[in-house]
């Protein structure tokens, strides 16, 4: 499947609001083959008709396209800003996390707020029932602890490279399988909303619905944390940027004099918040750390340009451990793996670079070329 048939693309948008091409033709084809075998239909057109006539199967198909790409304290600057909000919130904070995937983000939020000593409630919503089930278990493997910030909180228990979240966090989070675009998936007003890396997948119509929905759920002065490519403030004048640039935060645009983050109403029974100065800054990348990373990238490029591919791969793998969400590093990794004829890893990192930076033309072209090479080899 080099192109996604329009009728199947329409079914995907109807089922979850997403653009089919956001999942890639290969991902949609794999899910379609599985669904066709399960439903006993012999063509993609037949599959589309079957899905449109069966809401449960349509939801299951859309869920099969979802990938739980998440880890604790992803984009740590967002959590630094959350800590600042908690320190001055007045004692209580209500938070929405949607989509919450398998729960890493929701537990990260809870860890920050628990350390701040504030009273809080977290509603965590995801389209996938499978992801919600995993989130409720509170058990996570090594891949979720890529950020150095996670080690600072010490929520590790058990063996076998797995960790179990403490009850002090899990009891404060209400996980729910629902479509955040739908009414009733979340209710009331929230002081903070995390909605990261969802809008990039949505059609224009669904994106508008998402923005409408979030604005209806946001309390006065609420902060919304989004993904760097989600385009809240860039595509909708109803939003304005808030906080440090790398926190990727917005709020409802307001007019008038200098705007301040709202003081969130106090709860009489809430504990007095503690400052979060003791929180480790290991996950951030300010000042010298950013300069060191830039220097490492230049060194990595030099190795690749000199044809020292083996050394470049080793250095690249080490950098990816500490900077897994750098679009430029993932693109460079893909190019290095492609040069060494490791096409599977090249495809992996081209896809990841495109996921982190959907408009990157080099990543898009590289992915197409690698897939052609893989197809020829097959």
Average pLDDT score, the chain? 83
Q: What is the mean pLDDT of residues 90-114?
A: 93
Q: What is the mean pLDDT of residues 95-120?
A: 94
CA 155, 356, 219, 66 dihedral sign is negative
Does 148 score more than 80 pLDDT? Answer: no
| pLDDT, tens only, 63-101 | 999 877 788 998 889 999 999 999 887 789 999 999 999
Q: Taking the chain, what is the end-to-end CA distance rounded to the nearest angstrom?
A: 15
> pLDDT at position 289, please?
55
Q: 99: which DSSP letter?
A: S
Residue 237, token pair as written in the block: 């004048």
Does 270 score more than 80 pLDDT? Answer: no
Domain residue extents for the chain:
6-65, 76-252, 287-377
Helices 287-305 and 327-339 cross at an angle (nearest 10°) of: 20
- The topology under which CATH files domain 76-252 is Rossmann fold (3.40.50)
% of the chain with per-residue pLDDT over 70:
87
Give 58 or 339, the one with higher predicted confidence. Answer: 58
In 157-282, where do the E strands start and end?
162-164, 173-177, 190-195, 218-226, 239-242, 249-252
Q: Is 348 exposed, middle or buried (0-12, 13-18, 19+ CB in 10 A)?
A: middle
Q: Which residue has the tokens 């004048």?
A: 237
Question: CA–CA distance from 249 to each of 93, 111, 118 (Å)?
Answer: 17, 19, 21
Q: What is the mean pLDDT of residues 168-189?
A: 92
% of the chain with per-residue pLDDT over 90:
41
Q: How far apart, in whole angstroms, are the C-alpha atoms of residue 363 and residue 328?
A: 9
Q: How far apart, in whole angstroms, are the C-alpha atoms of residue 178 and residue 185?
A: 5
Residue 375 CA to its chain's centroid (Å)? 30
> pLDDT at position 257, please?
39
Is residue 11 within 8 Å of 48, Cβ to Cβ?
A: yes
Q: Can you tell me whether residue 255 is helix, strand or coil?
A: coil
> pLDDT at position 255, please?
57
Give 231 or 72, the one with higher predicted confidence. Answer: 72
The dotted CATH code for 287-377 is 1.25.40.10
Does 294 score more than 60 pLDDT? Answer: yes
Cis peptide before 258 (omega within 30 of 0): no
Using pLDDT thresholds of 50, 70 and 90, give the confidence band for residue 304. Answer: confident
The torsion defined by the Cα of 335, 340, 342 and 343, in degrees rounded to 10, comes to 50
Beta strands 119-126 and 92-97, pairing class: parallel
Using pLDDT thresholds of 50, 70 and 90, give the confidence band for residue 159. Answer: low
Q: Where are the alpha helices (DSSP H) in the chain?
A: 6-16, 25-39, 44-52, 55-65, 76-87, 104-116, 129-137, 148-153, 167-170, 204-217, 232-235, 287-305, 309-322, 327-339, 343-356, 361-377
Q: How far apart, in whole angstroms, are the C-alpha atoms of residue 90 and residue 273?
A: 7
Using pLDDT thresholds of 50, 70 and 90, give the confidence band for residue 307. Answer: confident
pTM of the full structure: 0.66
Ranges 189-193, 361-365, 366-370, most confident: 189-193
Q: How far apart, in whole angstroms, are the C-alpha atoms of residue 337 and residue 343?
A: 7
């Amino acid at each position: 499947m080099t192109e996604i048939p329009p009728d199947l693309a329409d079914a995907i948008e109807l089922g979850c609001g997403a653009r089919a091409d956001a999942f890639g033709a290969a991902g949609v084809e794999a899910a379609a083959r599985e669904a066709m075998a399960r439903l006993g239909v012999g063509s993609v057109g037949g599959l589309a008709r079957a899905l449109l006539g069966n809401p449960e199967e349509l939801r299951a198909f859309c869920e099969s396209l979802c990938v739980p790409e998440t880890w604790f304290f992803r984009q740590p600057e967002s959590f630094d800003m959350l800590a600042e909000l908690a320190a001055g919130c007045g004692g209580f904070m209500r938070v929405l996390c949607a989509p919450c995937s398998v729960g890493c983000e929701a537990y990260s939020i809870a860890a920050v707020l628990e350390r701040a000593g504030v009273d809080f409630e977290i509603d965590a919503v995801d389209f996938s029932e499978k992801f919600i089930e995993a989130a409720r278990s509170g058990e996570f493997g090594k891949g979720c602890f890529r950020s150095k910030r996670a080690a600072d909180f010490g929520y590790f228990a058990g063996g076998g490279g797995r960790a179990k979240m403490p009850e002090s966090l899990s009891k404060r989070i209400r996980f729910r399988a629902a479509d955040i675009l739908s009414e009733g998936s979340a209710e009331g007003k929230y002081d903070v909303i995390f909605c990261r890396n969802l809008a990039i997948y949505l059609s224009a119509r669904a994106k508008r619905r998402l923005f409408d929905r979030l604005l209806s759920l946001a309390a006065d002065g609420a902060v919304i944390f989004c993904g760097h490519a989600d385009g809240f403030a860039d595509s909708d004048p109803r939003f304005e940027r808030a906080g440090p640039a790398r926190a990727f935060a917005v709020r409802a645009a307001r007019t008038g004099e200098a705007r301040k983050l709202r003081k969130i109403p106090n709860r009489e029974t809430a504990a007095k918040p503690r400052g979060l100065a003791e929180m480790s800054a290991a996950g951030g990348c300010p000042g010298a750390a950013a300069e060191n990373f830039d220097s490492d990238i230049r060194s990595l490029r030099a190795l690749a340009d000199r044809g020292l591919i083996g050394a470049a791969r080793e250095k690249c793998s080490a950098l990816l451990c500490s900077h897994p969400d750098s679009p430029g590093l993932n693109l460079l990794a893909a190019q290095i793996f492609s040069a060494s004829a490791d096409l599977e890893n090249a495809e992996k990192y081209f896809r990841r670079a495109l996921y982190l930076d959907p408009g990157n033309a080099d990543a898009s072209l590289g992915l197409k070329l690698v897939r052609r090479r893989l197809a020829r080899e097959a």
